[in-house]
DNA sequence: CAGTCCGTTCGACCGTCGTGAACTTTATTA
DNA sequence: TAATAAAGTTCACGACGGTCGAACGGACTG
């Protein structure tokens, strides 16, 4: 085993969580398989699984262990805890209905964008698989919109922490270039992403803030390359997103 | 502290999970508050929180700790892991569109019904707060439909384990009464719940099974008291649910 | 029926988690 | 602005409990 990861972390808990992460990756697994992957004795793994089972974090189907409903309940609580997030759900769907583009709401958490809601019609099932995933802010539309709302010092902090990893050839990797783009975004009120994160994918994003100015997260619409190249149409769509975010912020302030 | 809960469970992991559960209950809390509630020193709790934070199971907002995106990701995986569950989503929404009643899909897990999807239009936000919750089978429409698909021995096991807690005055508490109802359900293909679980709430439920006969879970529609008293209308609605489940099972068998 | 492969149980040792106190930081009051 | 309090964080030590390896038992195979 040997856990030298971080200082002052409880090994037992880390191991338990790593088992959960492995079960996510493998879509369920048997004791032996887990033990081999984690390079630990079966008995140890078994102990963890028994423990996780009492809390329904895992369940047993025959001999394979899978993630269980306890996780689902807690995880879902992340989305329903905050009035902001609950409210964002219907706005995400409204955005999809109005534009026809896949719509997303992300929350800003510790310098990352976390998928909270997506709406894209029933056909596109895969979109829901990303809930809870964390994306960088520097190479996504909502991310840049969020950064544009933050004081420069905070942005620097975030960049220091996560860097500016280059996902595609269009990813911005120079800080000054990013900062000048953030200024422009700040003026026009929305951000555009042209294949900076995923090849052939464009997006328009707008940040959502509280009255106090605190950033909550952001909304975006996503489409294939060139969906937003016609600058007239782009402005129209950006207008729709911006107006929707305004409505969202308004309704939130009344709650 | 003192954990005498179950035999052979890892205390450290249990404590970590209990902190998570407490954070769910309190919608986030500060170190001291958690320490008091759990009757443990601040430093202990702090250690757990630090550990959970490295895995993003909790995040810090100022000085209060909340459930984090790591949980959301893992929890959501429970719903997207299985083709059955992913597919069930669109059928749940279709059911709502066709009937106008709040629609639910639950999975059967270890003798309980676990909320996986609900559809009820955007207005009713509260419905989504129950995802991951576990309900008994004996006093819910989908639950009874599920039990009706199982061999009697398995039903007995489940009843032995969880009993037949009386939620309302209409809850069935006698095994033989339940078994004769299960027989009827088995014949007619759907189950009805008249305030057996929640006062003033009626429901119609149908179980979904694999080709092999294994129970996957069940669909239901729910409405206020007397929504389904007109026996003609009830049969019509039950037909819709049953047909939808058939389609679902068919599509699943093709995948 | 023997052989293999898993999952589970058991006991002992060693490492690590829990503890309380010390330290730091932030908030409060005068 | 200094003093006090309250909360968050760090630290070192000792006891407890988690890890490990081996042994057991059950299921499947040839």
pLDDT tier for residue B2 given thresholds of 50, 70 and 90: low
Residue identified by tokens 């129970």 is B215
Over range A4-8, report the average pLDDT: 60
Supply the CATH number for residue A45's domain: 1.10.10.10
A49 inside domain: yes
A184 inside domain: yes
Full strand arrangement of the beta sheet holding B191-194: B134-135, B112-119, B102-109, B215-224, B201-209, B191-194
Ranges A83-97, A138-152, B114-128, B220-234: which has the least confidence: B114-128
More confident residue, A128 or A162: A162
pLDDT of B127 reads 55
More confident residue, B226 or A145: A145
Secondary structure (DSSP) of A149-172: HS-HHHHHHHHHHH-----STT--
Compute the Cα dihedral for B43, B48, B54, B58 and give only its sign: negative
B158 and B123 within one domain: yes
To the nearest whole angstrom, how far is the Cα of A73 from the nearest Cα of chain B? 4
d(CA A86, CA A91): 9
CB contact under 8 A, B75 and A73: yes
pLDDT of A18 reads 96
Over range A177-202, report the average pLDDT: 94
Share of chain B above pLDDT 90, in %: 74
B159 and B51 within one domain: no
Residues from chain A that touch B57, judged by Cβ atoms under 8 A, are 17
d(CA A182, CA A146): 9
* Nearest Cβ partner for B77 among A54, A55, A67: A67
A194 and A158 within one domain: yes
Each residue's pLDDT tens digit, B200-217: 899 999 999 988 888 999
- Whether B1 has its CB under 8 Å from any CB of chain A: the answer is no
B74 inside domain: no
Secondary structure (DSSP) of A231-247: HHHHHHHHHHHHHHHHH
pLDDT tier for residue A124 given thresholds of 50, 70 and 90: low
A111 and A12 within one domain: no
Give the bridge partners for B69, in sequence order. Answer: none
Q: Would you say the C-beta of A202 is within 7 Å of strand D? A: no
Q: How many domains does chain B have?
A: 2
Over 80: is that where the pLDDT of A4 sits?
Answer: no
pLDDT of A38 reads 94
Secondary structure (DSSP) of A19-47: HHHHHHHHTSB-HHHHHHHHTS-HHHHHH
At residue A252, the 3 state secondary structure works out as helix
Over 70: is that where the pLDDT of B124 sits?
Answer: no
CB contact under 8 A, B81 and A109: no
A73 inside domain: no
Each residue's pLDDT tens digit, A196-249: 999 889 999 999 998 888 899 999 999 998 888 888 889 999 999 999 999 999
B177 and B247 within one domain: yes
d(CA A112, CA A142): 11
Q: Which helix (H) or strand (E) holds B103?
A: strand B102-109
- Whether B5 has its CB under 8 Å from any CB of chain A: the answer is yes
Angle between helices B11-26 and A42-54 (to 10 degrees): 30
pLDDT of B80 reads 84
pLDDT tier for residue B81 given thresholds of 50, 70 and 90: confident
B52 inside domain: yes
B227 and B163 within one domain: yes
pLDDT of B226 reads 80
B123 and B64 within one domain: no
B169 inside domain: yes
The CA radius of gyration of chain B, in Å to the nearest whole number, is 21
Q: Which nucleotide is nearest to A10 (CA to C1')?
A: C17
B7 exposure class (CB count in 10 Å sphere: 0-12, 13-18, 19+):
exposed
B63-95: burial string, b at 16+ Cβ within 10 Å, e else: ebbbbbbbbbbbbbbbbbbbebbbbbbbbbbbb
- Whether B110 has its CB under 8 Å from any CB of chain A: the answer is yes
Over 80: is that where the pLDDT of B243 sits?
Answer: yes
Domain boundary among A39, A68, A97: A68
A241 inside domain: yes
pLDDT of B134 reads 92
A224 and A115 within one domain: yes
More confident residue, A16 or B8: A16
B127 inside domain: yes
A140 and A14 within one domain: no
pLDDT of B3 reads 59
d(CA B207, CA B212): 14
> Which residues of chain A (62-91) touch nucleic strand C at CB < 7 A?
63-64
* Nearest Cβ partner for B69 among A21, A50, A109: A109
Q: What is the pTM of this model?
A: 0.90
To the nearest whole angstrom, how far is the Cα of A232 from the nearest Cα of chain B? 31
Domain boundary among A34, A68, A102: A68
Domain that holds residue A44: 2-68
Q: Which nucleotide is nearest to B32 (CA to C1')?
A: D7
């Amino acid at each position: 085993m040997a856990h030298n990861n971080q200082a002052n972390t409880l090994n037992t808990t880390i191991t338990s969580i790593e088992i959960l992460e492995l079960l996510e990756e493998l879509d369920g697994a048997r004791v032996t398989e887990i033990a081999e992957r984690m390079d630990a004795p079966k008995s140890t793994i078994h102990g963890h699984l028994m423990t996780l089972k009492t809390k329904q974090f895992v369940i047993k189907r025959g001999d394979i262990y899978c993630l269980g409903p306890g996780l689902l309940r807690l995880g879902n609580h992340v989305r329903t805890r905050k009035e902001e997030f609950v409210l964002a759900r219907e706005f995400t769907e409204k955005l999809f209905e109005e534009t026809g583009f896949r719509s997303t709401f992300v929350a800003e958490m510790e310098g990352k964008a976390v998928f909270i809601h997506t709406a894209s019609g029933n056909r596109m099932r895969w979109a829901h698989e990303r809930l809870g995933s964390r994306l960088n802010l520097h190479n996504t539309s909502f991310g840049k919109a969020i950064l544009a709302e933050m004081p420069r010092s905070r942005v620097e902090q975030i960049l220091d922490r996560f860097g500016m990893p280059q996902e595609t050839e269009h990813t911005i990797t120079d800080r000054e270039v990013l900062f000048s783009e953030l200024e422009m975004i700040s003026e026009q009120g929305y951000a555009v992403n042209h294949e900076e994160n995923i090849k052939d994918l464009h997006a328009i994003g707008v940040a959502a803030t509280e009255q106090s100015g605190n950033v909550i997260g952001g909304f975006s619409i996503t489409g294939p390359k060139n969906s937003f190249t016609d600058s007239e149409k782009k402005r129209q769509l950006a207008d729709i997103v911006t107006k929707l975010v305004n409505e969202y912020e308004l309704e939130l302030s009344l709650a």
